[in-house]
Structure 1
């Protein structure tokens, strides 16, 4: 009875929070419309702070999406991005009575007997679920990722709120058309709820990184996993910031971590057309020797080989000052290059992202762009130019691609790594052939049942 009351209380509380958030976001939207129609004036700083407070009370998928948006240059105005960046990602964990009820619904009445031990308190809690440490009967240390209940309806409710948020933005700023961004976030968030899919993604990463001795991927325990419960082997490691603190005076150790992170993200992309779209600090850990553990595989994107070819074509277009090649790269992704000014503006952002790869020397990731959040000044400059030129509609693939690039750039900034990124990149792409990539991608997806 206590369990039932607990669940009813949480469900009622969640519905109440959705009603409050819907009212708050709707009211904030009305403020924007009022300003546009009647010229009442809008304090963006206060308005964005109010929006953060409206979303922050939810601690769910909408917060997760807002945090993703806050890291994508120009997905939101800078005032909003700064406020949303402050949202805390940790949600309160579920209590033991509630965990028992959820585990029973996933593995049956005798679920606890399937483990040698199962720690009552969660080791981590986030927007969609929480993780418990356990041990199998064979002595294997396990991580059990348990999804919160009713997350499907929660995500759908949140995506409706996101649509309102994008509507607010679009009414007063035409520089970026966010419709493709909303579509991409919607698809990726829905996929993250399917732990069967995440288990397949995990197997895909095991296959793609099988030759990377310094990157580790957990193994899924299929008989203890369901669509809402993912059980995997436990990987010991430290959070990145703790590792950095312990190795402040050891640049070689920090450089090694940076190189391992680079390969963990970009071997799958350039060899198989797959990107991990969320380099969030909680999605990996660092071993004592600098090896990397990948821990979360919910936010994974598979690209057409032609998209990857465009990424490499743009690199060589910039390196060789070949404007025709650069234009072909942009247009292969779906950008509409209306004039020379549009090309020059897009190239400002491209030169920022590719900058470390274009210089054949040892350098930090931000040698030419010091001060402020990673990429913020360049993004603001591009944003202003795009608004002047009538705006642009970014292809949906760029949501996770940009997030991965900027997120990893922030990691490399934390590490203060000094590496020849040019050499690292060229060692990886070699004699790139998108036809060969297509074959490797098809083979990998087929082996992992992801076709």
Structure 2
């Protein structure tokens, strides 16, 4: 049937329904906010946060993912809000078996079940944009089938509008940061996450970039059982990071080193980063000796000069050269800069780069809990930007900063003690922006991304 053949077409009616549904759910949170502002006691923020999380959880889809994403940005939301919203993806309810059968038939045809020896009726995992089912192929190979929810294209366009409204309100109320570039960046990445054909290419890209690192495993996609909205890949399993929090210091340090190379080698060598360091997106294997890296929907491919700016800022901070830091921010694409703003930005840069500038074995942030990583520094920066800003943050900064904060929190959970300066210097050996650009072009061409 026509609807089953193309259930994702971006119908105006679907967008209007989505907007009405999201608006209705959020209005409940708004009422809760108003009531608690007037009548709330000490726990009013927690009550508002629970109401907002409940409202967003009912929407399912992109806006829920955005909320989870924003919860990882230090001090963007109050701590109570961040804690509630960070649970949204983990608590997403799965769609039932009748839905799954309809969606699989739409993607692989009426005989889709004959392509599998077994197919799990219950979802192994459900998230904001789709759910995963465990299956077995006729040759005995175990696979994961990542199936997108219906009408997600309509949902994205509707929710992007809601996101613009939310962050527009934030801009008027806060005034420290102009979030328009952030909105554009998050919106573009959301649209990319709907394209499972592109995600397959991202997986192949990561298999190529990390092929020399035998400690990390990237699942292989099954092309003949994948479409634009169905991604079939190897089934992989492993332990959670929290399972190793009481392991020996040597084991925990080893896991932290492998996390470092898995995230930052693609960045410094190919200008590519996995933009979602969510704890559910990697698994620990072989007693801490290996990693599985998962979920390649949110991959950020940067212009090479942006990575050059990251390296330039590192070297400028190392040399305590203020003018060079100013030039590095301009190279990144920061707008509305002046000397006062650069001094403020250097506070945040000093925090993010701090472990890289300190040539010793150390924690990534002494005396800081994982959930508080970056929050105090972000609060200080935001307060100063309200007086001297606003500053327009380049869109490329969003996911690089998110990855740095997410991995820093993972290092804190592990209690890792490493010489981060030496690790970063090793990753920069022979760094040349022109060579990086050529390497990126070759790798993207090899997997069909250009």
Report the TM-score when normalising by structure 2: 0.89
Query: What SS does the corresponding residue of 2:131 show, helix, strand or coil?
Result: strand
Query: What SS does the corresponding residue of 1:149 show, helix, strand or coil?
Result: coil
**CA-CA distance at 1:295 after TM superposition:** 1.4
Q: Distance in 2 between matches of 1:116 and 1:198?
A: 25
Partner of 1:278: 276
Does the Cα contact within 8 Å between 2:336 and 2:391 map onto a contact in 1? no
- Which segment is superposed worse, 281-290 or 142-151? 281-290
- Which segment is superposed worse, 112-121 or 122-131? 112-121
**Structure 2 matches for 1:282-301, cutoff 5 A?**
282-290=280-288, 291-301=290-300
Compared with structure 1, are the counterparts of its residues 118 and 202 closer, same or farther at alpha carbon in structure 2 (3 Å cutoff)?
A: same
Partner of 2:64: 63
Q: Distance in 1 between matches of 2:390 and 2:40?
A: 22
1:309 aligns with 2:276: no
Partner of 2:434: 435
Partner of 1:264: 262
Query: What SS does the corresponding residue of 1:282 show, helix, strand or coil?
Result: helix
**CA-CA distance at 1:80 after TM superposition:** 4.5
Q: Distance in 1 between matches of 2:315 and 2:236?
A: 39
Compared with structure 1, are the counterparts of its residues 27 and 171 closer, same or farther at alpha carbon in structure 2 (3 Å cutoff)?
A: farther
Does the Cα contact within 8 Å between 2:18 and 2:154 map onto a contact in 1? no
- 5+ residue gaps, structure 1, are 34-39
Post-superposition Cα deviations, 1:195-251, rounded to whole Å, max 9, x if no partner, equal 000000000000000101111111111000001110011222122223x25xx1411
Query: What SS does the corresponding residue of 1:315 show, helix, strand or coil?
Result: helix
Compared with structure 1, are the counterparts of its residues 264 and 386 closer, same or farther at alpha carbon in structure 2 (3 Å cutoff)?
A: same
Q: Distance in 2 between matches of 1:391 and 1:250?
A: 46
Partner of 2:231: 230
Does the Cα contact within 8 Å between 1:76 and 1:169 map onto a contact in 2? no
Does the Cα contact within 8 Å between 1:117 and 1:136 map onto a contact in 2? yes
Partner of 2:97: 96
Post-superposition Cα deviations, 1:1-29, rounded to whole Å, max 9, x if no partner, equal xxx9xx9xxxx999878534303546877
Does the Cα contact within 8 Å between 1:124 and 1:132 map onto a contact in 2? yes
Partner of 1:115: 116
Q: 1:253 aligns with which of 226, 251, 254?
A: 251
Q: Distance in 2 between matches of 1:207 and 1:88?
A: 29
CA RMSD of aligned residues (A): 2.8
Compared with structure 1, are the counterparts of its residues 98 and 23 closer, same or farther at alpha carbon in structure 2 (3 Å cutoff)?
A: closer
Query: What SS does the corresponding residue of 2:146 show, helix, strand or coil?
Result: strand
Query: What SS does the corresponding residue of 1:121 show, helix, strand or coil?
Result: coil
Compared with structure 1, are the counterparts of its residues 370 and 67 closer, same or farther at alpha carbon in structure 2 (3 Å cutoff)?
A: closer
Q: Distance in 2 between matches of 1:337 and 1:91?
A: 40
Post-superposition Cα deviations, 1:279-332, rounded to whole Å, max 9, x if no partner, equal 111111110232111111000011111100100110111111111211111001
Query: What SS does the corresponding residue of 2:276 show, helix, strand or coil?
Result: coil
**CA-CA distance at 1:81 after TM superposition:** 3.8
Does the Cα contact within 8 Å between 1:56 and 1:87 map onto a contact in 2? yes
Compared with structure 1, are the counterparts of its residues 363 and 431 closer, same or farther at alpha carbon in structure 2 (3 Å cutoff)?
A: same
Compared with structure 1, are the counterparts of its residues 439 and 14 closer, same or farther at alpha carbon in structure 2 (3 Å cutoff)?
A: closer
- Which segment is superposed worse, 77-86 or 187-196? 77-86
Q: How many residues align?
A: 434
Partner of 2:10: none
Q: Distance in 1 between matches of 2:405 and 2:257?
A: 16
Query: What SS does the corresponding residue of 1:146 show, helix, strand or coil?
Result: strand
Q: Distance in 2 between matches of 1:311 and 1:13?
A: 42
Partner of 1:200: 201
1:142 aligns with 2:143: yes
Post-superposition Cα deviations, 1:118-153, rounded to whole Å, max 9, x if no partner, equal 122111111111111112222211111111111111
Query: What SS does the corresponding residue of 2:177 show, helix, strand or coil?
Result: coil
1:406 aligns with 2:405: yes
**Structure 2 matches for 1:389-428, cutoff 5 A?**
389-428=388-427
Q: Distance in 1 between matches of 2:61 and 2:401?
A: 23
1:445 aligns with 2:444: yes
